Amino acid sequence: MGLRKLFSFAALAAGIAVSGVAVSGVAGAADTIRIGDINSYKRLPAHTIPYKQGAELAIEQINAAGGVLGKPLELVSRDDQGKPGEAVRYAEELFAKEGVVMISGSLFSHVGLALAAYADQKKRLYLAAEPLADAIVWEKGNRYTFRLRPSTYMQVAMLAEAAAESDAKRWATIAPNYAYGKDAVAAFKKILKARKPDVEFVGEQWPALFKIDAAAESQALEAAKPDGIFNVTFGSDLTKLVREGTLRELFEGRTVLGLLTGEPEYLDPLGAEAPKGWIVTGYPWYEIDTPEHDSFLSAYQAKFDDYPRIGSLVGYNAMLSIAAALERAGSTDTEALVDAFKGLNLDSPVGPITYRAIDHQSTMGAFVGVTDVRDGKGVMVDWSYRDGAAYLPSDEEVRKLRPAGGS
């Protein structure tokens, strides 16, 4: 089974997978390759449950096609409750008691950073499938940590490109007060200023994660009199901000950018209250028309009687990545798997992905478009897929960011 055919076999196996093959086994298999899964299932189920479903679908398809290295894959999951300490405790348990060959997952950036530090200290492989903090692969990057999702820097660069093309010169920002939000605002300022030197930043708001006072934040943003607003809130914070900001006409006549706002996990709960005209990153699953995505979509809907979210796609791609690395390594040995992940190429429902050897960041891209409301639901229109490789810093810049021992 060739690496470039990895997605193809998964797509072809979709018809078999939905018939009920167990996630943990191929019929008659005496052994499995166990993958540790750590995520915030209770803290943010709107994202993490679809993530797990995508992972389960991929494993089911891989196992139905014969598994990897002659063995089926098995996902062993733990809920970190959004707490770094719990995530590290479960990581140790998964390796020591469950015999996993590596760990994957995690959503929140502070949890991902804790698991990356654990991986480095214990010399155990960690695929940070979801956390977006740039430090995971740069300032705190290490040999044993790789990341799948397009990073904060990459998605911010896509939105900064649109901001530079707008007429907005005075910008205000609002972001959750933790690693992900801080990275996003810092990257936005740096990239936009380089593209458009005459811009001004006239206000910053830093609500505590999931504790936003939307009325006070909206009032503060309005007081700054910006031409544009860069919004990094998500989940319940985003819902509250959109509702309060709309009521106060905060977004009227302004360029508004929404990092992650176009993802179904966060856009769907707003229904007809979804904002119109925001430039966002997201996942317009309902309009993507390629054979690869059609195969994924059909299999996902058949298995779960539901539509995929961005988490579903990330979970699916994470398991495809792990299977490809195992095949390339030819074993479950940690050091061999680390070497296999460097420069790893595979196909996915959204096109080819490469894990860069220099910083262990994948080139999975993101969709950029404009929000609208159709049939009482928020959607993305005028969207395009942006290749992640085009929005990463040069090798020279990465060498300055990444510690010498993080190769």
Residue 43 CB neighbour total at 10 angstroms: 18
Written as six digits, the tokens of 272 are 């007809």
Residues 61-92: tens digit of each pLDDT: 999 999 999 999 999 999 999 999 999 999 99
List domains and CATH numbers for the chain: 3-151+288-365 (3.40.50.2300), 153-283+366-395 (3.40.50.2300)
Single pTM value for the model: 0.91
Mean pLDDT computed over 20-28: 39
Q: Where are the beta strands (DSSP E) in 148-289?
A: 170-174, 200-205, 228-231, 255-262, 279-282
Mean pLDDT computed over 307-333: 98
Mean pLDDT computed over 305-317: 98
Which among 268, 203, 216 is positioned nearest to 245, based on CA atoms?
A: 216
Q: What is the pLDDT confidence band of residue 406, given thresholds at 50, 70 and 90? A: confident
Contact present, 355 and 342 (Cβ < 8 Å)? yes
